Amino acid sequence: MHDKSVDDMTLDIIEKEQRADLVGQIWQYTLGLERYVVKLRNQINRLAIRAGEQLPYPEVESDFTMRVFMDHPAFHEFDTELSTEGTNWPVPE
């Protein structure tokens, strides 16, 4: 039986950290996009009110991120990276 060398184990750890970092960055970007969508929906609702029209988005909040990511089978592997705390992607004004 072949035992993994220290170098192979180190490479495995580095690859896992790189995958986790990628997942974390995609997560942060997705949260930023979702906040932007909510902001746009609020703006559209304000315009609809001014125009005397019915609100196109009565509920502006989205659960897309939670539905897609948190129900994924690999969520727990990346639960540290998939935190909603301290999101740092800027939302355009």
Indicate the domain borders of the chain.
6-78
Confidence of residue 12 (pLDDT cuts 50, 70, 90): confident
Rounded to an integer, the average pLDDT of 51-78 is 84
Q: What is the 3-state secondary structure (H, E, C) of the chain?
A: CCCCCHHHHHHHHHHHHHHHHHHHHHHHHHHHHHHHHHHHHHHHHHHHHHCCCCCCCCCCCCCHHHHHHHCCCCHHHHCCCCCCCCCCCCCCC
pLDDT per residue over 15-60, tens digit each? 888 888 888 888 888 888 888 999 999 999 999 999 999 999 999 9
In terms of pLDDT, which residue wins out, 17 or 78?
17
**Residue-level pLDDT at 43:** 96
pLDDT of residue 76: 80
